[in-house]
Protein backbone atom coordinates (compact mmCIF):
# COMPACT_ATOMS: atom_id res chain seq x y z
CA UNK A 1 0.00 0.00 0.00
CA UNK A 2 2.83 2.35 0.83
CA UNK A 3 4.42 1.74 -2.57
CA UNK A 4 1.11 2.52 -4.29
CA UNK A 5 0.75 5.78 -2.32
CA UNK A 6 4.29 6.79 -3.25
CA UNK A 7 3.52 5.98 -6.88
CA UNK A 8 0.37 8.13 -6.98
CA UNK A 9 2.11 11.00 -5.21
CA UNK A 10 4.85 10.86 -7.82
CA UNK A 11 2.27 10.87 -10.62
CA UNK A 12 0.47 13.88 -9.11
CA UNK A 13 3.77 15.75 -8.68
CA UNK A 14 4.82 15.07 -12.27
CA UNK A 15 1.39 16.09 -13.55
CA UNK A 16 1.50 19.33 -11.60
CA UNK A 17 5.02 20.08 -12.75
CA UNK A 18 4.07 19.37 -16.38
CA UNK A 19 1.04 21.64 -16.11
CA UNK A 20 3.21 24.46 -14.79
CA UNK A 21 5.62 24.04 -17.70
CA UNK A 22 2.73 23.78 -20.19
CA UNK A 23 1.05 26.93 -18.96
CA UNK A 24 4.31 28.86 -18.79
CA UNK A 25 5.15 28.38 -22.49
CA UNK A 26 4.73 31.50 -24.66
CA UNK A 27 1.77 30.01 -26.55
CA UNK A 28 -0.36 29.88 -23.42
CA UNK A 29 1.12 32.84 -21.59
CA UNK A 30 -1.15 35.73 -20.82
CA UNK A 31 1.05 38.16 -22.73
CA UNK A 32 1.96 37.25 -26.31
CA UNK A 33 5.61 37.52 -27.26
CA UNK A 34 5.60 39.20 -30.67
CA UNK A 35 8.75 39.52 -32.76
CA UNK A 36 9.11 42.43 -35.18
CA UNK A 37 11.20 42.12 -38.34
CA UNK A 38 11.39 44.06 -41.58
CA UNK A 39 12.14 47.35 -43.24
CA UNK A 40 10.19 50.48 -44.12
CA UNK A 41 7.40 51.08 -44.91
CA UNK A 42 6.30 47.89 -43.14
CA UNK A 43 8.51 48.40 -40.09
CA UNK A 44 9.78 51.92 -39.44
CA UNK A 45 12.12 52.42 -36.51
CA UNK A 46 11.67 55.57 -34.47
CA UNK A 47 14.44 58.09 -35.01
CA UNK A 48 16.86 58.00 -32.09
CA UNK A 49 14.87 55.27 -30.36
CA UNK A 50 16.07 52.14 -32.13
CA UNK A 51 16.10 50.16 -28.88
CA UNK A 52 12.49 51.07 -27.99
CA UNK A 53 10.52 48.81 -30.28
CA UNK A 54 7.19 50.04 -28.88
CA UNK A 55 7.85 53.37 -30.60
CA UNK A 56 8.20 51.81 -34.04
CA UNK A 57 5.61 52.38 -36.74
CA UNK A 58 4.80 50.94 -40.16
CA UNK A 59 2.17 48.94 -42.00
CA UNK A 60 2.85 45.64 -40.21
CA UNK A 61 2.85 47.21 -36.76
CA UNK A 62 -0.32 49.22 -37.35
CA UNK A 63 -2.09 46.15 -38.71
CA UNK A 64 -1.12 44.06 -35.68
CA UNK A 65 -1.99 46.79 -33.18
CA UNK A 66 -5.45 47.15 -34.69
CA UNK A 67 -6.01 43.39 -34.51
CA UNK A 68 -4.67 43.16 -30.94
CA UNK A 69 -6.92 46.00 -29.79
CA UNK A 70 -10.00 44.49 -31.42
CA UNK A 71 -9.34 41.03 -29.94
CA UNK A 72 -8.16 42.27 -26.52
CA UNK A 73 -4.73 40.66 -26.84
CA UNK A 74 -1.93 41.60 -24.49
CA UNK A 75 1.47 41.49 -26.16
CA UNK A 76 5.09 42.46 -25.80
CA UNK A 77 7.11 43.49 -28.85
CA UNK A 78 10.65 42.21 -29.42
CA UNK A 79 12.97 43.52 -32.14
CA UNK A 80 14.38 40.87 -34.49
CA UNK A 81 17.46 41.74 -36.53
CA UNK A 82 18.05 38.53 -38.50
CA UNK A 83 15.13 36.71 -40.14
CA UNK A 84 16.46 33.11 -40.00
CA UNK A 85 17.13 33.55 -36.27
CA UNK A 86 13.64 35.01 -35.77
CA UNK A 87 12.04 32.05 -37.52
CA UNK A 88 14.11 29.65 -35.44
CA UNK A 89 12.95 31.29 -32.21
CA UNK A 90 9.39 31.09 -33.48
CA UNK A 91 9.73 27.39 -34.32
CA UNK A 92 11.17 26.71 -30.85
CA UNK A 93 8.24 28.47 -29.17
CA UNK A 94 10.17 31.40 -27.77
CA UNK A 95 7.93 33.71 -29.80
CA UNK A 96 4.17 33.51 -30.26
CA UNK A 97 4.08 35.58 -33.42
CA UNK A 98 6.43 37.23 -35.91
CA UNK A 99 5.08 40.31 -37.68
CA UNK A 100 6.52 42.18 -40.64
CA UNK A 101 6.82 41.70 -44.39
CA UNK A 102 7.51 37.98 -44.07
CA UNK A 103 7.48 36.27 -47.48
CA UNK A 104 5.75 32.90 -47.55
CA UNK A 105 8.13 30.30 -49.01
CA UNK A 106 8.21 26.51 -49.13
CA UNK A 107 11.27 26.23 -46.89
CA UNK A 108 9.85 28.57 -44.25
CA UNK A 109 6.49 26.81 -44.29
CA UNK A 110 8.28 23.62 -43.24
CA UNK A 111 9.43 25.38 -40.05
CA UNK A 112 6.46 27.56 -39.10
CA UNK A 113 2.85 28.33 -40.00
CA UNK A 114 1.70 31.49 -41.75
CA UNK A 115 -1.37 33.66 -41.49
CA UNK A 116 -3.52 34.60 -44.46
CA UNK A 117 -1.46 36.82 -46.84
CA UNK A 118 -2.24 40.50 -46.45
CA UNK A 119 -0.04 41.91 -49.24
CA UNK A 120 1.29 40.72 -52.60
CA UNK A 121 4.79 41.93 -53.46
CA UNK A 122 7.62 41.18 -55.88
CA UNK A 123 11.34 41.79 -56.22
CA UNK A 124 12.93 45.04 -57.37
CA UNK A 125 16.34 46.24 -58.49
CA UNK A 126 17.56 49.63 -57.32
CA UNK A 127 20.37 50.99 -59.49
CA UNK A 128 22.25 54.26 -59.52
CA UNK A 129 22.34 56.15 -62.80
CA UNK A 130 25.71 57.65 -63.64
CA UNK A 131 27.20 60.00 -66.22
CA UNK A 132 28.68 58.09 -69.13
CA UNK A 133 32.14 58.67 -70.52
CA UNK A 134 32.36 59.23 -74.30
CA UNK A 135 33.48 55.63 -74.81
CA UNK A 136 30.64 54.28 -72.63
CA UNK A 137 28.12 56.47 -74.46
CA UNK A 138 29.41 55.24 -77.83
CA UNK A 139 29.10 51.64 -76.63
CA UNK A 140 25.53 52.24 -75.47
CA UNK A 141 24.79 53.98 -78.77
CA UNK A 142 26.07 51.00 -80.74
CA UNK A 143 23.71 48.70 -78.80
CA UNK A 144 20.69 50.48 -80.32
CA UNK A 145 19.16 50.03 -83.79
CA UNK A 146 21.39 52.67 -85.40
CA UNK A 147 24.16 50.27 -86.62
CA UNK A 148 21.55 48.20 -88.47
CA UNK A 149 20.08 51.30 -90.09
CA UNK A 150 23.55 52.54 -91.06
CA UNK A 151 24.50 49.17 -92.52
CA UNK A 152 21.27 49.05 -94.53
CA UNK A 153 21.98 52.51 -95.93
CA UNK A 154 25.50 51.50 -97.01
CA UNK A 155 24.14 48.42 -98.79
CA UNK A 156 21.52 50.57 -100.50
CA UNK A 157 24.16 53.10 -101.60
CA UNK A 158 26.30 50.29 -103.00
CA UNK A 159 23.41 48.78 -104.96
CA UNK A 160 22.38 52.16 -106.34
CA UNK A 161 25.98 53.05 -107.19
CA UNK A 162 26.53 49.71 -108.91
CA UNK A 163 23.45 50.11 -111.11
CA UNK A 164 24.36 53.73 -111.89
CA UNK A 165 27.88 52.65 -112.90
CA UNK A 166 26.53 49.93 -115.19
CA UNK A 167 24.22 52.44 -116.89
CA UNK A 168 26.68 55.36 -117.18
CA UNK A 169 30.17 53.89 -117.57
CA UNK A 170 30.18 53.97 -121.39
CA UNK A 171 28.43 57.30 -121.93
CA UNK A 172 29.70 59.36 -118.98
CA UNK A 173 33.35 60.40 -119.07
CA UNK A 174 33.24 61.39 -115.38
CA UNK A 175 32.56 57.77 -114.37
CA UNK A 176 35.67 55.52 -114.49
CA UNK A 177 35.15 52.33 -116.49
CA UNK A 178 37.12 50.23 -114.00
CA UNK A 179 34.88 48.40 -111.50
CA UNK A 180 36.40 49.60 -108.22
CA UNK A 181 36.91 53.31 -108.97
CA UNK A 182 33.72 53.41 -111.01
CA UNK A 183 31.48 51.96 -108.30
CA UNK A 184 33.04 54.19 -105.63
CA UNK A 185 32.46 57.28 -107.78
CA UNK A 186 28.87 56.18 -108.39
CA UNK A 187 28.34 55.59 -104.65
CA UNK A 188 29.62 59.12 -104.03
CA UNK A 189 27.03 60.38 -106.50
CA UNK A 190 24.30 58.40 -104.72
CA UNK A 191 25.41 59.74 -101.32
CA UNK A 192 25.46 63.44 -102.28
CA UNK A 193 22.11 63.00 -104.00
CA UNK A 194 20.78 61.42 -100.80
CA UNK A 195 21.91 64.19 -98.44
CA UNK A 196 21.45 67.18 -100.79
CA UNK A 197 20.49 67.57 -104.44
CA UNK A 198 23.87 66.60 -105.83
CA UNK A 199 27.42 67.91 -105.62
CA UNK A 200 27.71 68.85 -109.30
CA UNK A 201 30.84 66.92 -110.28
CA UNK A 202 28.81 63.92 -111.51
CA UNK A 203 25.48 63.99 -113.34
CA UNK A 204 23.65 61.36 -115.39
CA UNK A 205 24.07 61.40 -119.18
CA UNK A 206 21.82 58.54 -120.28
CA UNK A 207 18.04 58.35 -120.11
CA UNK A 208 18.18 55.26 -117.91
CA UNK A 209 20.66 57.02 -115.64
CA UNK A 210 18.39 60.04 -115.26
CA UNK A 211 15.42 57.74 -114.53
CA UNK A 212 17.42 55.91 -111.85
CA UNK A 213 18.49 59.25 -110.34
CA UNK A 214 14.88 60.46 -110.20
CA UNK A 215 13.74 57.29 -108.46
CA UNK A 216 16.69 57.49 -106.05
CA UNK A 217 15.87 61.10 -105.14
CA UNK A 218 12.28 60.13 -104.27
CA UNK A 219 13.46 57.12 -102.26
CA UNK A 220 16.01 59.30 -100.45
CA UNK A 221 13.27 61.64 -99.25
CA UNK A 222 11.48 58.70 -97.63
CA UNK A 223 14.59 57.07 -96.20
CA UNK A 224 16.11 60.25 -94.74
CA UNK A 225 13.20 60.83 -92.36
CA UNK A 226 13.43 57.23 -91.15
CA UNK A 227 17.18 57.54 -90.58
CA UNK A 228 16.70 60.73 -88.56
CA UNK A 229 14.02 59.02 -86.43
CA UNK A 230 16.30 56.03 -85.79
CA UNK A 231 19.21 58.30 -84.81
CA UNK A 232 17.01 60.33 -82.44
CA UNK A 233 15.75 57.16 -80.78
CA UNK A 234 19.28 55.77 -80.55
CA UNK A 235 20.59 58.90 -78.83
CA UNK A 236 17.65 58.86 -76.40
CA UNK A 237 18.14 55.20 -75.51
CA UNK A 238 21.87 55.68 -75.08
CA UNK A 239 21.24 58.50 -72.61
CA UNK A 240 18.59 56.56 -70.68
CA UNK A 241 20.54 53.33 -70.27
CA UNK A 242 23.15 54.67 -67.91
CA UNK A 243 23.30 51.61 -65.67
CA UNK A 244 24.93 48.26 -66.37
CA UNK A 245 21.82 46.55 -64.96
CA UNK A 246 18.49 47.08 -66.69
CA UNK A 247 16.76 43.74 -66.06
CA UNK A 248 17.22 40.68 -63.81
CA UNK A 249 19.17 38.86 -66.53
CA UNK A 250 21.88 41.55 -66.23
CA UNK A 251 22.65 40.46 -62.65
CA UNK A 252 24.89 37.60 -63.76
CA UNK A 253 28.44 38.00 -62.41
CA UNK A 254 27.56 41.46 -61.01
CA UNK A 255 28.20 42.52 -57.41
CA UNK A 256 24.83 43.39 -55.85
CA UNK A 257 23.77 44.32 -52.32
CA UNK A 258 21.16 42.12 -50.62
CA UNK A 259 19.66 41.77 -47.16
CA UNK A 260 20.89 38.60 -45.47
CA UNK A 261 18.33 35.81 -45.20
CA UNK A 262 15.71 37.45 -47.45
CA UNK A 263 14.10 36.25 -50.66
CA UNK A 264 15.98 39.04 -52.44
CA UNK A 265 19.25 37.29 -51.61
CA UNK A 266 17.88 34.09 -53.10
CA UNK A 267 16.62 35.96 -56.17
CA UNK A 268 20.08 37.43 -56.78
CA UNK A 269 21.72 34.02 -56.40
CA UNK A 270 19.23 32.45 -58.84
CA UNK A 271 20.30 34.98 -61.48
CA UNK A 272 24.02 34.35 -61.00
CA UNK A 273 24.85 37.56 -59.14
CA UNK A 274 27.65 38.00 -56.61
CA UNK A 275 25.70 38.92 -53.46
CA UNK A 276 27.07 41.24 -50.79
CA UNK A 277 25.00 40.63 -47.65
CA UNK A 278 23.95 43.43 -45.32
CA UNK A 279 21.70 43.61 -42.26
CA UNK A 280 19.53 46.53 -43.42
CA UNK A 281 18.33 48.29 -46.55
CA UNK A 282 20.11 51.49 -45.49
CA UNK A 283 23.44 49.65 -45.39
CA UNK A 284 22.77 48.15 -48.82
CA UNK A 285 21.96 51.57 -50.31
CA UNK A 286 25.12 53.02 -48.76
CA UNK A 287 27.12 50.30 -50.54
CA UNK A 288 25.39 51.16 -53.82
CA UNK A 289 26.08 54.89 -53.49
CA UNK A 290 29.67 54.17 -52.48
CA UNK A 291 30.27 52.13 -55.62
CA UNK A 292 30.74 48.81 -53.82
CA UNK A 293 27.78 47.25 -55.67
CA UNK A 294 25.89 47.85 -58.90
CA UNK A 295 22.39 47.31 -57.50
CA UNK A 296 20.29 46.61 -54.44
CA UNK A 297 18.06 43.55 -54.79
CA UNK A 298 15.15 43.65 -52.36
CA UNK A 299 11.36 43.73 -52.11
CA UNK A 300 9.94 46.25 -54.57
CA UNK A 301 7.58 48.02 -52.10
CA UNK A 302 10.43 48.62 -49.66
CA UNK A 303 12.59 50.04 -52.46
CA UNK A 304 9.74 52.34 -53.55
CA UNK A 305 9.72 53.78 -50.04
CA UNK A 306 13.50 54.18 -50.06
CA UNK A 307 13.32 55.92 -53.43
CA UNK A 308 11.00 58.50 -51.90
CA UNK A 309 13.37 59.01 -48.97
CA UNK A 310 16.52 59.43 -51.11
CA UNK A 311 15.49 61.99 -53.71
CA UNK A 312 18.96 63.54 -53.60
CA UNK A 313 20.35 60.57 -55.56
CA UNK A 314 19.67 59.69 -59.19
CA UNK A 315 18.21 56.24 -58.54
CA UNK A 316 16.30 54.06 -60.97
CA UNK A 317 13.96 51.31 -59.76
CA UNK A 318 13.48 48.24 -61.96
CA UNK A 319 10.58 45.89 -61.31
CA UNK A 320 10.77 42.09 -61.45
CA UNK A 321 7.01 41.73 -61.23
CA UNK A 322 6.90 38.32 -62.88
CA UNK A 323 7.95 36.70 -59.58
CA UNK A 324 5.38 37.63 -56.96
CA UNK A 325 5.53 36.97 -53.22
CA UNK A 326 2.94 36.90 -50.46
CA UNK A 327 3.48 38.76 -47.19
CA UNK A 328 2.03 37.19 -44.05
CA UNK A 329 2.62 36.93 -40.31
CA UNK A 330 4.41 33.81 -39.04
CA UNK A 331 3.36 31.63 -36.10
CA UNK A 332 4.58 28.43 -34.42
CA UNK A 333 3.25 25.20 -35.94
CA UNK A 334 -0.25 24.45 -34.67
CA UNK A 335 -0.71 27.82 -32.96
CA UNK A 336 -4.21 28.50 -31.64
CA UNK A 337 -3.70 32.15 -32.61
CA UNK A 338 -3.75 31.37 -36.33
CA UNK A 339 -7.52 31.11 -36.88
CA UNK A 340 -8.55 34.34 -35.08
CA UNK A 341 -5.65 36.13 -36.76
CA UNK A 342 -6.77 34.94 -40.20
CA UNK A 343 -10.35 36.05 -39.55
CA UNK A 344 -9.18 39.50 -38.46
CA UNK A 345 -6.95 39.91 -41.54
CA UNK A 346 -9.70 38.79 -43.92
CA UNK A 347 -12.14 41.21 -42.30
CA UNK A 348 -9.74 44.12 -42.83
CA UNK A 349 -9.15 43.16 -46.45
CA UNK A 350 -12.88 42.90 -47.16
CA UNK A 351 -13.93 46.12 -45.40
CA UNK A 352 -11.22 48.20 -47.09
CA UNK A 353 -9.20 48.99 -43.95
CA UNK A 354 -6.19 47.17 -45.39
CA UNK A 355 -6.34 49.29 -48.55
CA UNK A 356 -6.53 52.47 -46.48
CA UNK A 357 -3.52 51.38 -44.43
CA UNK A 358 -1.45 50.66 -47.55
CA UNK A 359 -2.38 53.98 -49.15
CA UNK A 360 -1.35 55.78 -45.97
CA UNK A 361 2.22 54.63 -46.63
CA UNK A 362 2.15 55.19 -50.39
CA UNK A 363 1.34 51.61 -51.44
CA UNK A 364 -1.66 50.07 -53.14
The low-confidence residues of the chain, meaning pLDDT below 50, are 1, 6-8, 11-29
98-113 exposure pattern, b = at least 16 Cβ within 10 A, e = fewer: bbbbbbeeeebeeebb
pLDDT at position 172 is 87
Q: Are residues 173 and 191 in the same domain?
A: yes
Does residue 257 sit in the same domain as residue 288? yes
pLDDT at position 174: 84
Give the CB-side neighbour count of residue 92, counting CA atoms within 13 A.
Answer: 7
Residue-wise pLDDT for 16-35, tens only, equals 434 333 333 444 447 999 99
- Overall pTM > 0.75: no
Which CATH number characterizes residue 80's domain? Answer: 3.40.190.10
Domain count, the chain: 3
pLDDT at 130: 65
186 lies in some domain:
yes
Q: Domain of residue 343: give its range.
A: 28-121+326-360
Residues 147 and 235 in one domain: yes
**248/230 same-domain check:** no
The rounded distance, in Å, linking the Cα atoms of 43 and 67 is 16
CB 172 within 8 A of CB 204: yes
Of 240, 270, 286, at which residue does a domain stop?
A: 240
Task: Indicate if 204 and 231 belong to the same structural domain.
Answer: yes
Do 320 and 330 lie in one domain? The reply is no
264 shares a domain with 173: no
CATH number, position 162: 1.10.287.70
Grouping H, G, I as helix, E, B as strand and the rest as coil, residue 300 is: helix
221-248 exposure pattern, b = at least 16 Cβ within 10 A, e = fewer: eebeeebeebbeebeeebeebbbebeeb
> What is the SS3 assignment for 123?
strand
Residue-level pLDDT at 363 = 85
Q: Is residue 20 part of a domain?
A: no
Query: Would you say residue 228 lies in a domain?
Result: yes
Rounded Cα distance, 131 and 117, in Å:
42
Whether residues 161 and 216 fall in one domain: yes
Domain membership of residue 74 (yes or no) is: yes
Would you say residue 260 lies in a domain? yes
Q: What is the model's pLDDT at position 66?
A: 96
Q: Cα–Cα distance between 168 and 208 in angstroms, integer?
A: 9
Single residue among 240, 259, 288 that ends a domain in this structure = 240
Residue ranges of the alpha helices (H) in 25-122? 59-70, 83-91, 106-109
Position 154 in a domain: yes
| Cis before 41? omega within 30 | yes
Q: Would you state the pLDDT for residue 308?
A: 85
Is 166 in the same domain as 207? yes
In a domain, 5, yes or no: no
Check residue 53 and give its pLDDT.
Answer: 84
Are 234 and 149 in the same domain?
Answer: yes
pLDDT at 256 (0 to 100): 95
Same domain for 152 and 88: no
230 and 251 part of one domain: no
Give the residue from 240, 261, 279 where a domain finishes.
240
Residue 23 lies in a domain: no
Amino acid sequence: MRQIAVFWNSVRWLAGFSAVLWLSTPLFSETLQVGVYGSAPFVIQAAGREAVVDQWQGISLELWRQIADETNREYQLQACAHLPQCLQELAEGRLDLLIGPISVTHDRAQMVDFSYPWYHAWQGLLVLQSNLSPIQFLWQFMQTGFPIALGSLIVLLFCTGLIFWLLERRANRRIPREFGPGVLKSMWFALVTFVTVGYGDVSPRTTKGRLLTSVWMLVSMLISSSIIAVMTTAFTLAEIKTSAIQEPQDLRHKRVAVIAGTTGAGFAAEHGAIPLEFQSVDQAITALVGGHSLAVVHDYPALVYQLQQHKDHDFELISARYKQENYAFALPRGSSLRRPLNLAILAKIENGQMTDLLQKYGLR
